[in-house]
Structures are given as C-alpha cells and as structure tokens.
Structure 1
Amino acid sequence: MDKASIEFRETCTLYINKCEKIYRDQKQFNKDEFRTLFFKKEEESNNTGSLFLSDLFDQFINENKSLKPKTQKHFQYTRNVFSNHSPNINVLDINPAYINQFVKTRTKNNVTQSAIDSSLRDLRRIINYFSNENCVIPSSYRYPFGKGGYSIQNFFPRKLVMSNDNIKSIIELKEFSSEHEEYAKNIWEILYRCNGINFADLLRMRWDNIKGDYLIFFRKKTETTRKNNKKEIVVPLSNELLALFERVGKKHSPFIIGKLNEGYADNTFENKSKKMSKQINKDLKSLGTKLGITIPLKLKTARDAYATSLRRAGVSKDDIGEMLGHSNSIVTEHYLASIDLESTKAINQHLL
C-alpha cells in the first residue's frame, strides 16, 4: 500500500483501459496501427480517459449540457461526498463490498438513509453513462448494482404531520407582524390548496394555466425525470384559492405571482427559487412558533398537510395519488405510509 505501488497500479489500469478502447475502435485489428495509437501522445489522442471517480463526475457534468443547474450542483455535491470518503478512488475499485462499506460509514456518521440512497443513485448514473453511452469503463468491469450486486432501496422516511387543528389555525390566521409573514402564509396556503405542489411549481405557474374552472399544469419535478406516463395536475379553482390569487397575484405579469420574466434562464429560476424559499421558510418558522405548532412550518409541509387532510377525510389512496400526480399507486402507498406516524398513538391507546 505504499504510494509508489498505488501509483503504479493506477498507471497500469489507465494503460489497460487505453488498450481496450483502441482495440474496440479498430474495425480490423492491426498490430502496427495499434502500437502507433497506443504510444501517441496523450494530448493528441482521444482514446484515453481518467478512470478516477471524481474525474468521471466532472466529465459527466461537462458532457451533459442539458442538466439543470440544480441537478449539476447535486452531482457536484455527490462527487465531493465520494472524494471525501475515498480520495482518488478508481471506478474499477467500486464493487458491492465498497458500496456496503460506504453505506456503513455514512450511516455511522448519522447521514440519513434517503441521502445515502441519493448519492448511490448518482454513482449508478455515472457508471451506467460511462459503461453504455461514453464507453470509458472497460467491458470487463463487473457492474456493482442490481442482481448479484448492491440493490438501492426505495426509502420513505416516516414524517410527523400537523393535526387538522394546526392546519386550520394557519389558514384562519389574520394577524401578522409584517407583510412578509402574511405573504408567507398566503403562499403556504396556495401550495396546500393546489394539491400540495412545490414552491418551484408555483413560482413558474402562469395565468394561462387556468383553463375554465381548473388550474392545469405539469410538476417541474417530473418534467424531465419521466419519459412516460406524464400526468397533469388538475386543481379545481375554489373560492378560497381564487381569493388567494387576488391577494398575491400580479395581473401585469404572465406568471401568477409575478416573480419571473419571459425567457428566464435555468440559473435565474434556481437562484430566485432558492432565495425566495429561504425567506418564506424563515417567516413560516416564525408563524409556526407563534401558533404553537411543534412541527416546523415550512413550504414543503404543505404537501404533507394536503395528503393528510384527504386521508383523514377518507379519500381513497388511488384518488390521493391522482391528485398528487404520483406515477403509480405504489408511490402513493409509500408516501401515505411515511406520513402515518401519528396513527401509532391511536393504536397504542388500546394498551392497558
């Protein structure tokens, strides 16, 4: 494990990879041509590439210009996670044993299972890309995921949810310390009444999404992740929702809350969404404290509150999934299970 030996093995791996790529690209093997290409200077040849995991992450980001800024940052974060865990690791050293050790270490460091799984999904995407699309990884490499390897689980952490009284107290709140607090409350209620959408969906929502008595749109989250079975979100325009649009809506803008301009860039959208969310969540936290709500009041809790309200009212799982825009009932089943922590109290009330 001395430094010189490690560097020697890394060099050998690069040479082997270079040989395999040259051999694969030759229509008919020619030894002299093979030698010429192999000894060609690195800067003159496109047949070499680093197999260091950190370099593959950087190359993936650079080659996929269509990635949204938020996705790029996510991959950059995952790159740093693996770099900190295993500096200068070669992708060929990633096997099921390595992944299990990675999971064990991250769990020991109190990283949530959902965060660990997210990192592993990014890792899997990198390996798939450089195995099947930009074929840098040798075909002899043993794929570490799936059958015979490590299986990434779908993990839905259980959540604490607000009671109906808590939700009602937010909706009926009339006294505020500032205009910012009132605005934050109105935005949260709009998300709640719009089938529990994310703030990003509201930020880019347009007046022309209103079709008669309904608000119809696609969720931003599923816009690029689903190739098939895309679902429109259909929100009935209730009097309460129309009144909220009157309070916060900007009629002069094509966008309902008027915070974007036509032709906005992805970076502009991400920066605006992040900045506004931070301020609104700060004001919501203050409101939650005033109302005595023990569960942190945030923009994202509007979705949980919406699903919980429907479930408590006896709405079927399939109908809830349809309104939330879930692709199938399995997703809804996991989602509802994750917000059902409060039911444990009712169950254990039967104890003597």
Structure 2
Amino acid sequence: MATFNLVLDTRVVKKNNQYNLSIRANIGTKQLYIHISKMTKEQYHQIFVKKTMDKQSIEFRKKCSDLVTKSENIYNEMHPFDPKRFRKLVLGKDETAPENSLLLHNLFNRFTDSQTSLKKRTIDHFNYSKSVFHKYKPDLNVLDLDSKFISQFVKYRLDSGVSLSAVNSSLRDLRRIINYFSNEECIIPKNYKYPFGKGGFSIQNFFPRKLVMSNEEIKSVIELDDFDSKEQEYARDIWVMLYRCNGINFVDLFRMRWDNIKGDYLIFFRKKTETTRKNNVKEIVVPITEDLKKLIGKIGVRNSPYILGKLQDGYSESSFENKNHKWKKILNKELSVISEKLNLSVPLRLKNARDSYASTLRRAKVSKDDIGDMLGHANSIVTEHYLASIDMETTFDINKHLL
C-alpha cells in the first residue's frame, strides 16, 4: 500500500521562516519526503488552503498536482522499488525516467551507447533511422507504435520517394530497438502490444532488380588503356581488382593485408560478417590468377602491411570509416568519367563490381551454389535473391517470343 500527498514539511525550518514543500510518500511502513520547493506557512496557506486564484498560484498548484500523479505512476512501474532512483525520477534528474526513457529517440541513444561492440557504420545507421522517425513525429513514444502507425509511416516514406528497401532498413532498426528494450533491458511495459510479426506489421523482404553491364561492357572497362590521368587509371584498376577478387566490396580490399595471401590464394573474411552471430560464416577464397597477380603487383604497396597501403596498424574504427569513405568518393568520381567515356549502360561504381562478377558467372552457366560459395553467401536462399535481382537482361529473351 502506498499513498502520496503534498505537504509542508515543518520538521525543519529554513531561512526566512521557510519550510520544504514536499511530496510525502507513505510506502508500507516507510515514509519518504521529496522536496520540490520552499515557502512560508503563510504562502502555503494562501496557495493550497485558501486557493488564491491568481494565474501564478493556479499554475503552481497544477505543477505540484502533476508531480504527485507522476510519483504514483513511477511507483507503479518500479519493480523493485528503489528510493534513491525514485527520488531522481520524480524530480526529473534521471534521464531514464519512464516518460523520457520511452521516447523513441532516447531509446535509440540508450541502445547505441550501451552496445560497445557496434561498428561506427552500424551506429551511424541507427542514428539515421532515429532521425527519420523523429522527423516524421518528434517526441514519439514507443508506446504509440502499433501496426497502424507503422503502416502510415511506410506510406508516408514511400510517397516521399524513398525506396522500399530504405524504408525496410529503418523498420529493422526500429524492430531491434523494441526487441532489445522488451527482452533484454526490459523497460518497455509487458502489456505493450508488439507491432511486428504475427497479427502485426510484416517487414517485406525486398530485393530490387539491378541493371548490370553486358560482358562486352565489362571487357571494355578491363581493356581500357586511354586515360586522362594516373588517378583515373588507378580507379579503373581498383574496380577490376574488386571484380577479379570474387566481386568483393571495396571495404574488404581497403583493409586487405599482404599476409592474406596464402600460396596461390587470397583468403579473408568479409568485414560485413565478422561480427555476425551466425555460426556458418565463410572465408572468401580467391584464386590468384595471372591477371590478378599482375594487378596486385601494379597497385600493391610493398612497404605497407596493407596491400593498398592506405592504412597503418592500430587504426581506430572511426579513422577507418573516414578513410574508407574518402577513398570511395575519390575513386567513384574517376569511375564516373570512365562511364561517360565508354558510354556504359550502367554507371561504373565500385559497388557494381560485385554485380558484374556474379552476372559474368551466371552467363557462363556456373551453378548458383558455386556462385554463392565464391560470393561468401551463407546459404543458397541469399544467392537466389541476389541472382534474381541482377538478371534483368533475360526479360528481353523471354518477351522476344511475343507476336
């Protein structure tokens, strides 16, 4: 049993004959005073007994009444009861107060601050999702999130021209936040109706179809020998190396070391999978063909432990991300000039070396299982979706039978 009342605590007199105006909490056999202001007996009598009707007194009474209600709500949600934290929560001195902790942007902040194993890129992604929801509805409380709200959010984003894959990405971050604070750091009330899954909103698996270069276009990039600058040639060489290294992402080439070379192979793990919880993470095994050996000899920096020579041992995650972003921007700028020079049907970018690799193998009738193995996919389902997304050109072969 607990009761909460507003009282003038006359046990101790303060300066100028003032006393503490307090919330007195009677919790079982214990009594707790939370001081919220100071006033004289005369002031207390005027404001709370006679209830003077001037604007300032009315507003002050309302503020005090709200604090009493707040005390009751906090007590009902606090199990077990912690007097020290209870006092802080009532006075608003604890950033994890219920009315603040359940604000969605605070949950995002609390999650990224507590997860020390998160990569900078992942934290940036969560921060972006946080800003997306905050922009849609500032001071959004997680308890306001139901399947109807999420459906309205999705429609708004799609109508704004945002791709479905980008919308789904934000929803997955939201789902992770709700799951974490429901099941791990349990501050979301148990009676909260989970908005996802059965009976709720389902995040659709969406694999956008991609346009890919033809074999002739890929060959024209590889054989290009007319460059405007050394920087342009270097960018092309980097693209070709990504292509010849099983279509890896630039981030993996950027951090690739000379000691990843094991005899006639490059063997390494993708950065994307190094912190995954799955137990079937695969090594990428790249056979070092004569073409690849020449390319490594051309762009490799021998006096560095890293093949591209852009990093030094002991780099921080932040430093790595900054340098990686900087070099991607530089290289893609040069590749865009090559796109125009060769009049390619698809803009040449570092990221489409992976699509080009997979599509080359598919056109050569290499099995999906072998393609998936070379790409480092954990299962054939991922490969099925990946290959389906790049196989646009077959639509012409199919529809050529039309009358």
TM-score, normalised to structure 2, is: 0.79
Letter in 2 for 1:233: I
Query: How is 1:66-105 mapped onto 2 (pairs within 5 angstroms)?
Result: 66-105=117-156
Tell me the equivalent position of 2:254.
Answer: 203
Distance 2:154 2:364 in 1: 39
Residue matched to 1:22: 78
**Aligned partner of 1:266 among 314, 317, 322:** 317
**TM superposition shift of 1:66:** 2.3
The question of whether the paired residues in 2 share the 8 Å contact of 1:159 and 1:341 is answered with yes
User: Does the alignment pair 1:158 with 2:158?
Assistant: no
Residue 130 (structure 1) aligned with residue 181 (structure 2)? yes
In structure 2, which of residues 90, 93, 115 is the aligned counterpart of residue 43 of structure 1?
93
The answer as to 2:345 corresponding to 1:289 is: no
Asked if 1 retains the 8 angstrom alpha-carbon contact of 2:237 and 2:299, the reply is yes
Task: Report the equivalent of 2:402.
Answer: 351
- Report if aligned partners of 2:269, 2:282 keep a CA contact under 8 Å in 1: yes
- What is the alpha-carbon distance in structure 2 between the residues aligned to residue 11 and residue 201 of structure 1? 55
Distance 1:15 1:344, change over 3 A: farther
Equivalent residues of 2:254, 2:310 under 8 A apart: yes
Q: Does the aligned pair in 1 maintain the 2:70–2:90 contact within 8 Å?
A: no
CA contact (8 A) 2:95 2:101 kept: no
> Which runs of structure 2 are paired with 1:105-116 in the superposition (5 Å)?
105-116=156-167
Contact 1:17 1:137 in 2 (8 A): no
2:329 counterpart letter in structure 1: K
Q: Report SS of the residue matched to 1:43.
A: coil
Amino acid of the residue matched to residue 107 of structure 2? L
Matched, 1:213 2:269: no
**How many angstroms apart in 1 are the aligned matches of 2:311 and 2:70?**
48
Corresponding letter in the other structure for 1:22: M
Q: Confirm or deny: 8 A CA contact 1:196 1:303 kept in the other structure.
A: yes
Contact 1:161–1:295, Cα closer than 8 Å, also in 2: yes
1:239 and 1:337 map into 2 onto residues whose CA distance is: 31
Does structure 1 residue 54 correspond to structure 2 residue 110?
no
Cα 1:36/1:248, change in 2 over 3 Å: closer
Shift of 1:68: 1.3
Letter in 1 for 2:93: E
The letter for the 1-side match of 2:279 is N
Relative to structure 1, the CA distance from residue 17 to residue 165 in structure 2 (aligned partners, 3 Å threshold; closer, same or farther) is farther
Instruction: Give the aligned partner of residue 167 of structure 1.
Output: 218
Alpha-carbon distance in 2 for matches of 1:155, 1:220: 23
Q: Answer with 1 or 2: which has the greater Rg.
A: 2
Find the residue that maps to 2:93 and give its secondary structure.
Answer: helix
TM-score by length of 1: 0.90
CA distance in 1, matches of 2:224, 2:341: 10
Q: 1:36 and 1:190, CA in 2 relative to 1: closer, same or farther beyond 3 A? A: closer
1:75, distance to aligned residue in structure 2 (A): 0.9
Given the alignment, which residue of 302, 323, 328 partners 1:277?
A: 328
Q: CA RMSD in A?
A: 2.4
Unaligned runs of 5+ in 2: 1-65
Aligned to 2:305: 254
Q: Is the 8 A contact 2:67 2:90 kept in 1?
A: no
How far the C-alpha of 1:56 sits from its partner, in A, is: 1.1
Please give the secondary structure, in 2, of the residue aligned with 1:234: strand
Q: CA distance change for structure 1 residues 152 and 45 in 2, over 3 Å: closer, same or farther?
A: closer
Which residue of the partner structure matches residue 193 of structure 2?
142
1:187 aligns with 2:243: no
Shift of 1:347: 0.8
Shift of 1:80: 0.7
Judge conservation of contact 1:248–1:257 (CA < 8 Å) in 2: yes
2:273 to 222, 228, 231: 222
Q: CA deviation at 1:333?
A: 0.3
Aligned-partner SS, 2:365? coil
| Structure number with higher strand proportion | 2
Between the aligned partners of 2:249 and 2:95, the Cα distance in structure 1 is 47
Query: Shift of residue 34 of structure 1?
Result: 7.5
Q: Gaps (5+ residues) in structure 1?
A: 1-9, 27-32
1:45–1:162 CA distance, 2 compared to 1 (3 A): closer
Check 1:35–1:313 CA distance in 2 against 1; reply closer, same or farther (3 A cut): closer
Q: Partner of 1:332 in structure 2?
A: 383
